[in-house]
Amino acid sequence: MKKTFSALTILLSLLISPLSLSAQQMDPRELAIRKLLQSTIMINQMYVDTVNIDRQVEDAITGMLTKLDPHSQYTNAADTKKLNEPLKGNFEGIGVQFNMLDDTLVVIQTIAKGPSEKAGIIAGDRIVAVNDTAIAGVKMSRENIMSRLRGPKNSEVNLGIVRRGIKDTLTFTVKRDKIPVTSLDAAYMVEPGIGLIRFSNFAANTHTEVVEAIKSLRKKGMRDLIIDLQGNGGGYLGAAADLASELLDKGLMVVYTRGRGGVNLGEYRSRGGGLFTKGRIVVLVDEYSASASEILAGAIQDHDRGTIVGRRTFGKGLVQRPIELEDGSMIRLTTARYYTPSGRCIQKPYQKGDAKTYARDVIDRYNRGELTNADSIHFPDSLKYQTLRLGRTVYGGGGIMPDIFVPLDTTRYTKLYRELSARSYIVNANLHFMDANREQLARKYKKFDTFRTDFQIPEDVIDQMLDEALRKDSLKAKDDKELQKTRADVALIMKALVARDLWDMTEYFQIIYANDPVVKQALTILRKEESD
């Protein structure tokens, strides 16, 4: 009988067959690779039980990467798609922002000119069915619901909608389309002459969005600019370089990279013709500002282009090269380090293979007092650098140390407030309030300025939320002082959430930032410089 051999068997026979070169003569790296491949094939072919070869290979790749730096990583095809969507600038779906209220999807907003708005869906609608499959009251996961709503461009989906004031369930057919993913959170005039721009990451469309925001603010009289990078985890290096070019004079270094052996792998310089190269700049950062955020902040600081305010940034200065694999999975492999124009390495120290300690770094900073007291931060003389225009002292050692330190206010929120927020009581109270009052609020507050001045969350709304939290989870204030502080903070955040639901995130941040200590410090700097 004629025998047949699988491709794996043939490959295995080649790998274990006698070689013209002995193992001692072979390149050790090649020998190690052959050893790994041999082991994988033999386990798949000979192990007593059936094995999942795909999982084995993924575990092997993940295992190798965990022995390297904390940012080299492997993602399977599904996770790779999810991770890339916020940076690519669009995805395909129906175009709604939603939240879950009592196991039911409630539309918070429809994307302007998007598929759902064109079909007639409005804010406040409940989506209860997708293509005749019930998604309300069945405890379906958020990910499962999103996968049903998303789909290829031009494909159609039938949605069952329950609308306040209408007894019967409505049916809408929505043709899916490309939905833009924006990184711009807010752009507004804080006060005459001073604008603020906040964006959440550095994505494919970030440069365009920020440029349009600057143009709009300049038409409103903006002379000075606050750039809010707090919590911005970074993204595309190119987006950071493009934004830096709008702020720096032509030919100035933005960032450079060095690879294995300290080899210079490339540099980015401002291209000239920037939109905002003369007005004053204050950049807001914190311990979660990372990667591309640190590149932009570092370039502005090193060239004395503006003032950095806040707390030392995260310290993520490793360059990952995306390596796409045939099945759609991806390895993001660290190939270089970022350096600011003055020569500072952005990456903070780490031990290879010790991801746990690295992940605890922000907590350790807090425990050492670095987030609350500038005197707790110490830099050796070897980490001192000079800015390139004024010769000011700046510091390396990982992250960007701000010019003006603003401590983390550990007393800003009470324990009760944090518990209410963590258990979604505040968000759910807002959803119920908006569900019952959206139309009335929209009629009453045509303009945001009127809303900001006149609107307050009704006291009974907060009372009902606190009663529910006490009844369900025994959450209560330790004393009257904590209760009053919690009520004030809840009233502020709920006012901001209502503003977001009636308008957008720009209005949300105008409410939130009215008493923000970091924003206040930025305004103090710009006002003082104006009067000097």
**Same domain assignment for residues 389 and 424:** no
Q: What is the pLDDT of residue 271?
A: 93
Domains in the chain, number: 4
**Same domain assignment for residues 395 and 295:** yes
**Same domain assignment for residues 234 and 326:** yes
**Same domain assignment for residues 296 and 422:** no
Q: What is the pLDDT of residue 1?
A: 42
- Kindly write down the DSSP assignment for every residue of 299-359, as one continuous string: HHHHTT-SEEEES------EEEEEEE-TTS-EEEEEEEEEE-TTS-B-SPP--TT-HHHHH
Taking the model in full, what pTM does it have?
Answer: 0.86
Inside any domain, residue 250: yes
Inside any domain, residue 22: yes
The pLDDT of 462-488, averaged and rounded, is 96
Q: Which residue has the tokens 């906040």?
A: 198
State how far the alpha carbon of 298 is from the alpha carbons of 248, 339, 346, in Å. 12, 9, 8
**Same domain assignment for residues 98 and 110:** yes
Identify the helix (H) or strand (E) that includes residue 268: strand 264-269
CA count, 13 A, side-chain hemisphere, 285? 33
Which range, 137-141, 379-383, 460-464, has the best average confidence (pLDDT)?
Answer: 460-464
* Tens digit of each residue's pLDDT (9 = 90 or more) over 401-459: 999 999 998 888 999 999 999 998 999 999 899 989 999 999 999 999 999 999 999 99
Q: What is the pLDDT of residue 340?
A: 97
Residue 532 has pLDDT above 80, yes or no: no
From 392, 408, 424, give the residue that closes a domain. Answer: 408
Are the C-beta atoms of residues 346 and 258 closer than 8 Å to each other? no
Inside any domain, residue 484: yes
Inside any domain, residue 428: yes
Q: Where are the beta strands (DSSP E) in 117-200?
A: 126-130, 133-134, 156-162, 170-175, 177-180, 184-191, 194-199
What are the beta bridge partners of residue 115? none
Q: What is the pLDDT of residue 2?
A: 44
Inside any domain, residue 305: yes
Backbone torsions φ then ψ of 252, nearest 5 degrees: -80, 140
Least confident of 79-93, 103-117, 376-390: 79-93
Active centre residues (catalytic): 291, 302, 316
**Same domain assignment for residues 209 and 329:** yes
Q: What is the pLDDT of residue 3?
A: 45
**Same domain assignment for residues 420 and 513:** yes
What are the beta bridge partners of residue 178? 92
DSSP annotation of 77: H
Inside any domain, residue 391: yes
**200 or 89, higher pLDDT:** 200
**Same domain assignment for residues 419 and 317:** no
* Tens digit of each residue's pLDDT (9 = 90 or more) over 2-26: 444 455 554 555 555 544 455 556 7
**Same domain assignment for residues 117 and 20:** no
* DSSP helix, strand, coil percent of the chain (3-state; round to 5): 40, 20, 35
Residues of the chain above pLDDT 70, percent = 93
**Same domain assignment for residues 144 and 211:** no
The pLDDT of 359-369, averaged and rounded, is 90
Among 215, 274, 208, CA closest to 236 = 208
353: left (phi over 0), alpha (psi -120 to 50) or beta: left
DSSP annotation of 202: B
Q: What is the pLDDT of residue 531?
A: 60
**Same domain assignment for residues 325 and 337:** yes
The pLDDT of 397-402, averaged and rounded, is 93
Inside any domain, residue 390: yes
From 370, 390, 408, give the residue that closes a domain. Answer: 408
What mean pLDDT value characterizes the chain?
89
State how far the alpha carbon of 344 is from the alpha carbons of 315, 337, 388, in Å. 11, 10, 12
Long-range Cβ contact pairs of 72-77 (< 8 A, separation 24 or more): 72/320, 72/331, 72/332, 72/333, 72/334, 73/331, 73/332, 74/329, 74/330, 74/331, 74/332, 75/329, 75/330, 75/332, 76/328, 76/329, 77/327, 77/328, 77/329
Inside any domain, residue 69: no
The pLDDT of 144-166, averaged and rounded, is 89
From 379, 408, 437, give the residue that closes a domain. Answer: 408
The CATH number of whichever domain residue 121 belongs to comes to 2.30.42.10
Where in the sequence is the domain holding 192, given as residue range(s)?
Answer: 184-408
* Tens digit of each residue's pLDDT (9 = 90 or more) over 289-345: 999 999 999 999 999 999 999 999 999 999 988 899 888 999 999 999 999 999 999
Bridge-based pairing of strands 177-180 and 90-93 is: antiparallel
**Same domain assignment for residues 256 and 320:** yes
The pLDDT of 231-255, averaged and rounded, is 95
Bridge-based pairing of strands 73-75 and 330-339 is: antiparallel
Cα–Cα dist 265/520, whole Å: 40
